[in-house]
Amino acid sequence: MRRRRLRAALTATALALASLATLPAAAAPQVLAARRPVAAPDWSVALVDSTTARFTPSTIGGWSYPVGLYLYGQYLTYRRTHDARYLTYIKNYVDRFVASDGSISQSFNSLDSMQAGRLLVILHRETGQDRYRKAAKKIRDRLNTYPRTGDGGFWHADTSSRAHQLWADGVYMVNPFLVEYGKEFGDGTYANDEAAKQLDLYGTHLQVGNGLLRHAYDESKTVSWADPQTGLAPEHWCRAVGWYSMAAVNVLDAIPADHPRRTRLIGILRRLAAGLEKYQDPATGRWFQVIDKGGRGDNWTETSCSSMFTYALSRGAQQGYLDAHYANVARRGYEGVLAKISLGADGRTNLTDISVGTNVGDYAYYIGRTRATNDFHGLGAFLIMNEQLRNQPAR
């Protein structure tokens, strides 16, 4: 307890000093130029410095999963660099939504709205302030009444348009938060069991013979995109599968070695990894927007999912969930993603070919999605990937 109080006091001091030392946005490009080695850029630092120069904690956006994903990646960069400005920025963002008494003005009626809850757990761990525990508990308590399919899977959202539906995206929106919440607040038995159950159920419904997952499943089999026999969506949209792949390794990292669902989850991940290796673009090392249809001329390689797959395959091989050769598959993916980041004339990073947010649809719908630059889906996934692979030697 004394150690935790000391850690919280030191963190508070660092945050206060960082707040005093924060530079104006106009100065950020010069800071970038001074800090970045010319021969071997630290792309995580460059990307975070660029993004925090473009947006303040007040202008980066509302409470949302894309911003939450990006800021989680920024936190990983903070953990390595110990640059307190990065943690101050995250705290200032979260404090827009969390009052001093721990109240938070979110209803948590969708899985998407829960993803940024990871930041609440992080800030409790870093500062010891109880308001973050109280805010995080609102998400945990919401799960007690959150709607489920007949076999217990969380609906994508508590709305009529998402009723009875499991989207592969959803497992990342809630389950990494859940296992981290359980560890931080002594609720691990429920959290680990629930997270493993959700991954198992989603994988069972969504994974097909080629190892890949379909984007979504409708238990009622009535929504327009659902196959009337299987309830499955028609395509393998890459980022939906990317969310699942990252959630799988996060949960496997957290649950006990003797957890009863562990073997099943590793089996799902191994089948998925084989599918990803099969459909990796040999020319670029990246993956296509519709994963299994790379031979079509209008398909294109997408940066956020390529980052997600690269991370998951690398971490899976490192942890022994996957065969060691997947580290080489991940290395090809990493090199492919690095080809999509560069410095602009202003000295700031640009990350290209990121699909904007996407509903469930058909091939033409996915292919027609905007290919954005510096979309938060891609920035966050890039940081998670880069912090995993940046110091791993090439094989």
Question: Which residues are known catalytic residues?
Answer: 169
Cβ distance 47 to 119 under 8 Å?
A: no
C-alpha Rg value of the chain to the nearest Å = 20
Is the separation of the CB atoms in 196 and 252 below 8 Å?
no
3-state secondary structure of 260: coil
| CA 305 to each of CA 74, 164, 172, 286, 337: distance values in angstroms, whole numbers, following the listed order | 18, 26, 13, 8, 10
Are residues 83 and 49 in contact, defined by beta-carbon separation less than 8 angstroms?
no
> What is the distance between the alpha carbons of residues 209 and 232, in angstroms, rounded to a whole number?
13
Q: What percent of the residues of the chain are helix, what percent strand, and what percent coil, each to the nearest 5? A: 55, 10, 35
DSSP secondary structure string, 155-222? Answer: PSBSSGGGTTEEETTHHHHHHHHHHHHHHHHT-HHHHHHHHHHHHHHHHHHHB-TTS-B-SEEETTS-
